[in-house]
Structure 1
């Protein structure tokens, strides 16, 4: 929330380098229009995308033909999360901030999100309690210690746990 300038620093300063385009996955899915359908959400973002490509993309995120035409307000929290993540990945960001991205997702949906994030060509900062997700998506762990120092650990979350306990 600091990087997105939603809250202010108590002290010090935060500098985001020029050229960084940041996308933020909110737990409350505030980047979706609850009056639209998943299909309309994507068409609004990418009006030139061929319809077959749009449907294939929604299919990769576990949306059935009937679901793509259902108003967002009638979809489950997990279904809304998948639309929010898909929209975020379609934006031209080079930094993603993810706040509990696998909350409300079943295993298949979480796998679809993980697969999409593995293909993402940018940096990801994620807050998650989902160890499996962190193992699948992360290749470096940044540990912010209580004294304000930063320790960088190469590898996924399981490797971080193993090394930090040595």
Structure 2
């Protein structure tokens, strides 16, 4: 006589999985083709790769990631830049993250800069954090800055440590 079934209770009816699928299908079919909105949860695109047989003369600018295996004669601006072991870059590098495995002739500016054991850098490095592996070749100066990505290369230098350290 008494049961806990909610079948006959007033109020909104819970959708079954079949009803949900039909509802989603109908919504997708009812949208005009011109009203496409990209899905904001899409996966991040893969890094662009410049192969070892490629030589670029000119500047490169991207908000994404780039991996250079060839030769670039010009400045590079990216989110993450990986300089491959066979790569040579002659110009300024500006990126949030920089990993150097190859050769760079020019200034490097980045929040995180890493020189691996195969790196050869001839130029100044302006960074927030830096890591230099044993075996890396580096000629130039290193400066820590709170904002190494500031335009014009005149980044605000970090305040000196107490006690002159």
Where is the helix percentage greater, Structure 1 or Structure 2? 1
TM-score (norm 2): 0.26
Where is the strand percentage greater, Structure 1 or Structure 2? 2
TM-score (norm 1): 0.26
Q: Which has the larger radius of gyration?
A: 2
